[in-house]
Structure 1
Amino acid sequence: MRPEMKEKIIRICEAKIRQKGSNVGLSFYAFFANKNDDPELLMEVAQWWIRDMKLDHFEKAEKIKALISDL
C-alpha cells in the first residue's frame, strides 16, 4: 500500500469515528472522490480490501484503521 494512501485511510477513518462514533462502517469507496481519477490506486486498495484482507463491503472504521496501521 502506498504510504500516502495509508495515511489518507487512517485520516478518513479517524474523522468518521469522531463524527459518527466508534461503530461507524465504511466501504473502500470512502477513500476516493466520486470521480475516479486514479484507477490504478483504486484497484490497489480494492485488491487489499477484497483479496488480501477478505473484508465485507462495509467494515468498521476502527477495524480498517487497525489493519492499515499494521502494514
Structure 2
Amino acid sequence: MKTSENKSNERERFIKSVEAETPDKERIIAMYDDVCADREGLQRAFDRFIANVQRMCGDEVVKKCGSASALAEKEN
C-alpha cells in the first residue's frame, strides 16, 4: 500500500492536471477523493479476506492468493 506522502503527491499531480483541463475541477477532485477512499476500503476488505482464508485454509492457499494480489498490484 502506498504511503500517505505518495498518496498526497499523486493527488497533487492529479489536481494540477485537472486545473488546466476543466472548469468543473472541484467536482472531479471530489470524485477522485471518493475513488481513493473506496480503493483503501477495498484494500482493507481484501486484507481481512486474506486473514480469514489463512485461518480457514492455511498458509499455502494464502501464498497463492498473495501472489495473485501482488501480480494484480504490479499491473496497476
TM-score of the aligned structures, taking structure 1 as reference length: 0.34
The structure whose residues are more often helix, as a share, is: 2
TM-score of the aligned structures, taking structure 2 as reference length: 0.32
By relative contact order (CA 8 Å, sep 6+), the higher-ranking structure is 1
The structure whose residues are more often strand, as a share, is: 1
Structure whose alpha-carbon radius of gyration is higher: 2
